[in-house]
Amino acid sequence: MAQKPVPVMQPWTKDFWTGAKEGKLLVQHCQDCQANIFFPKKVCPECWSQNLTWITSSGRAKVYSFTQMLDMVEPVFWEDLPYVIAFVDMEEGIRMTTRIVNCRMEDICIGMDLEVVFQPLNDEVAMPCFQPADPSLRLAAFSAETDSAEDAAAGALAMAPISYQTIRYETGGENDAICFITLNRPDKFNAINRQMAKELIHAFRRVREEAVVGVVVLAGAGEKAFCTGGDLEIFPSLAEHQSSLNWLAHEGLDVQRAISGCEKVVVCKIHGHCLAGGLEIALACDLLYARESARFGTTEINMGVLPGWGGTARLPRSMPVFRAREIIFSGRKDYTAREIYDMGLLTRVFPDSEFEAAFEKTVANIAAKKPVALRMGKEIMARSVDGCDMETALALERNAIQWLTYAPDTQAMLEPFKADPSQLTRQQKKDSMASDQS
Amino acid sequence: MSHSKLSIIGIGEVPTGIYPDRSRWDIIYDTCMAAVKDAGIHKNEVEAVVTVAPQAQPDIYGEISFGKIPEELGLKGCKNVCVCNAGGASTSNCLRLAEQLIESGAARYVLIPHLTVHSTIPLPDLINFFAKAGIDRQWEYPYGQTYNGIVAMMTQRYMHDSGTTAEEMASVVVSLRKWAALDPNSMFYKKEVPSIEKVLASGMVASPLHKRECNVLADGGAAMVVTSAENARARKSPAAFKLGEGSRFFSAFTTTRDYEKTGTDMRDATMEALAQAGLITSDIDIWNVYLAYPVGHPLLMDLLGLCEPGRAGKMFMEGHTAPGGKLPWATIGDAVGRGHTGSGVSIATYVDTARQLMGKAGERQVPDVKYVYQCTSGGSGMNFIASIWGRD
């Protein structure tokens, strides 16, 4: 991801940014005419005095106006979407452009009271942003006690799910351990446009912050399709070489990266058409369950190109290469779920009439496991199948188990059993039986 | 007879849109030759070329700055050449420079061309340009501010203060697109005019601004030939005479703008222009407003007292500003209706002001038009220039 633009400073504005880095909002002040000045200048714009100093702002402000940015921003800001920009009027009589963070969009209004909060842009620059002055309007993920850079970023991200336009993001299941991310363009066969790509990337990063979630279910809305790949509306923009490369290498491919790099177990729920980029999204998931009536294929070769979001890389790694080649070279879009399963790709296929119940039961069982164990399992298996040698893979496994065993919460759970090890045996037997599906 | 010193006597324009086979120089040749022909003069009578700066197109900016237009067109009588840049207010300043050249005797006829070809600018360069033009690199841009974001905030505040509804804001687009649908030089010529519902159903770009309330970047160009009012009268051909002008500078950036004072200044600039022309608002037959996004239109109508306070949105909603309405407004449909050609929408508006006064506006011709109000603004609304034009 490209670096965020940093403020282009002038010698006479550096003190402002030094103050921001130290958590102080400074306002330039003319000691001759007493004017408060923003943007800071070399001389006072009122009287041309150079007798300038800095006063520390109270940090309190009111919203003059605001907007929620949802689209058509520079690529470097895509990962932030949606975000709120505002004009805020400071108590010191100056107006700033800033971002409002740590707040639900529907709670923001003109005249709202705010207070400054600093968000690190990089190691050297902190941006003055604003959050509601009323603590009850702040998002829980971003409290005054946890205002580190990471928490700040979490606060900004926490605004997102309510605003997605092309996907749905919900949590549910026992103890809210499952996050449901649903491609939600059913009238377009859930095809992926730029907006959906941005939102998926955002959602899969966002879910990292859901500590109790162990499993993400990725599904498609409507009856017709899980997903049919990249939306044809994008194609005209691909006529330009750089634009095409960006879509293949970043804007689109980053969706797969966000899924495969997601620290939760991603379960793909497939119905209807699962084609081209839709199949490639499925390939980035950890577990793939399909309705018997689902249909699969990669159709890119019919246009003289090839799957471009990992299809040529992941299909041959998911089944014998001779079968993968047929899928890619044939351009067929009518492979049945059973055929694909027999070729080695899917985790499991259920008859349509039994699918929902079987899928729910399967996912609920996995979601009942400790998220940290699922995360560790996903990571070491990914490294293992990526082709490291056996001893390395075994070392990874050994050390992962060791880490899990000595994780504080595991130790806390084991504590009561130390006095009577037989209790632990009984508990393990009970948990194992609960996991059985038959 | 007025005290006018300047008049537009020739206009040339090419359709706005994406035409891959039409180069920048095609546009320059076509518009300049059409304007000279329309003026009824010989090419060698042009004594100065004052060009609107081609924004975001550095190569041709350089070529034009150093005299390639008179060279290409063989303007053997040309004595002066320059480029003028004030963003969307460039054309107003080109006209002022031309006025001075004419008044000082340095030129009898001045050619004012403009061209924009956005479609061949590499996308990253285009994004880069529009992300930073008129947006401060230290205090605004690092927050992810954009033109759409700025206008969205202005719209949010205007709706809050005036009580204008989302439907009324969308009806501004409908009105502008109705003009555009009748304009052969618009990229929306003969295209379906979206309903209010369709405008509001388009995706939200920056709340409360929808996609259809934003501008589509396009290619285009236009040219004008201007001369002294005295010379224009003597020629006895249709012409547009500049009758008055007022202007104000506000601030380079939207953060530092005093919006209350901006409103007062816009009104004062307009009243100055009207006073110079010896007119009042009710004398104006067409309000040719160039403010790039929908919000400026009801805002200006309210400011100038052209409707009951707070009813500007309803004026658009009730169709008074559309073709055939009692308050003909932005007869090329502003940037929303024409397609955004950078600084080119301002020259297109001037060209249409002249076209209406010359009686050459075809289906869009406002009957018996005598006086046209015209305004421009540059950057992210840094300034405001109002002018009044008449048939004499």
- What's the distance, Cα to Cα, between the start and end of chain B in Å? 6
CA distance A104 to chain B (A): 14
Last residue of a domain, one of A115, A134, A153: A134
Cβ-defined contact of A67 to B203 (cutoff 8 Å): no
Same-domain status, A254 and A214 = yes
Does residue A225 sit within a domain?
yes
A38 touches chain B (CB under 8 A): yes
CATH number at residue A361: 3.90.226.10
pTM, entire model: 0.69
CA distance A65 to chain B (A): 5
Domain span at residue A397 reads: 371-422
Q: What is the pLDDT along chain B (392 residues), one digit of tens a residue?
A: 456 799 999 999 999 998 888 999 999 999 999 999 999 999 999 999 999 998 878 889 999 999 999 999 999 999 999 999 999 999 999 999 999 999 999 999 999 999 999 888 876 677 677 767 789 999 999 999 999 999 999 999 999 999 999 999 999 999 999 999 999 999 999 999 999 999 998 888 999 999 999 988 899 999 999 999 999 999 999 999 999 999 999 999 999 999 999 999 999 999 999 999 999 999 999 999 999 899 999 999 999 999 999 899 999 999 999 999 999 999 999 999 999 998 899 999 999 999 999 999 999 999 999 999 999 999 999 999 999 999 98
Cβ-defined contact of B149 to A77 (cutoff 8 Å): no
Tell me which residue in B138, B149, B214 faces A85 most closely, judged by beta carbons: B149
Cα radius of gyration rounded to whole Å, chain A:
26
Contact A269, A250 (CB under 8 A): no
A97 touches chain B (CB under 8 A): yes
A344 touches chain B (CB under 8 A): no
Does residue A6 sit within a domain?
no
| CA-wise closest residue to B237 among B40, B12, B4 | B40
A71 touches chain B (CB under 8 A): yes
Count of residues for chain B?
392
Does residue A200 sit within a domain?
yes
CA distance A90 to A94: 5
Mode of pairing for the β-strands spanning B383-390 and B371-376:
antiparallel
Q: How many CB atoms lie within 10 A of CB A423?
A: 12
* Interface subset of A 163-222, CB within 8 angstroms of B: 165, 195
Last residue of a domain, one of A83, A117, A134: A134
Mode of pairing for the β-strands spanning B209-210 and B204-206:
antiparallel
CA distance B202 to chain A (A): 12
Catalytic residues of A: 280, 300
Chain A residue whose CA is closest to B148: A72
Same-domain status, A239 and A363 = yes
Q: What is the pLDDT along chain A (438 residues), one digit of tens a residue?
A: 467 899 999 999 999 999 999 999 999 999 999 999 999 999 999 999 999 999 999 999 999 999 999 888 887 888 888 899 999 999 999 999 999 999 988 899 999 999 999 999 988 999 999 999 998 888 854 444 434 444 444 334 333 344 678 899 888 888 889 999 999 999 899 999 888 998 899 899 888 878 889 999 999 999 999 999 988 777 666 667 777 777 777 777 889 989 999 989 999 999 999 999 999 999 999 999 999 999 999 999 998 889 988 899 999 999 999 999 999 999 999 999 999 999 999 999 999 999 999 999 999 999 999 888 999 999 899 888 877 889 998 999 999 998 888 888 778 777 777 777 777 778 778 877 777 765
Does residue A427 sit within a domain?
no
Cβ-defined contact of A39 to B255 (cutoff 8 Å): yes
Does residue A9 sit within a domain?
no
| ipTM of the complex as predicted | 0.94
The total number of structural domains that make up chain A: 3
Same-domain status, A228 and A247 = yes
Same-domain status, A297 and A167 = yes
Does residue A181 sit within a domain?
yes
| CA-wise closest residue to A54 among A72, A65, A73, A41 | A41
Does residue A351 sit within a domain?
yes
Same-domain status, A170 and A318 = yes
Same-domain status, A212 and A250 = yes
| CA-wise closest residue to A39 among A82, A94, A93, A92 | A94
Interface of B with A (CB under 8 A): 122-124, 127-128, 131, 136-146, 148-149, 152-154, 156-157, 160, 203-209, 211, 214, 253-256
Cβ-defined contact of A70 to B139 (cutoff 8 Å): no
Tens digit of each residue's pLDDT (9 = 90 or more) over B130-159: 767 789 999 999 999 999 999 999 999 999
Does residue A113 sit within a domain?
yes
Same-domain status, A214 and A360 = yes
Same-domain status, A245 and A282 = yes
Tens digit of each residue's pLDDT (9 = 90 or more) over A28-85: 999 999 999 999 999 999 999 999 999 999 999 999 999 999 888 887 888 888 899 9
Last residue of a domain, one of A324, A351, A367: A367
Who contacts B104 (Cβ-Cβ below 8 Å, separation ≥6)?
none
Using a CB-CB cut-off of 8 Å, the residues of chain B touching A87 are 153, 254-255
Same-domain status, A168 and A237 = yes
Same-domain status, A225 and A317 = yes
What domains sit in chain B, N to C, each tagged with a CATH number? 7-122+221-235 (3.40.47.10)
Same-domain status, A343 and A391 = no
Cβ-defined contact of A71 to B204 (cutoff 8 Å): yes
Same-domain status, A177 and A122 = no
Contact B16, B348 (CB under 8 A): yes
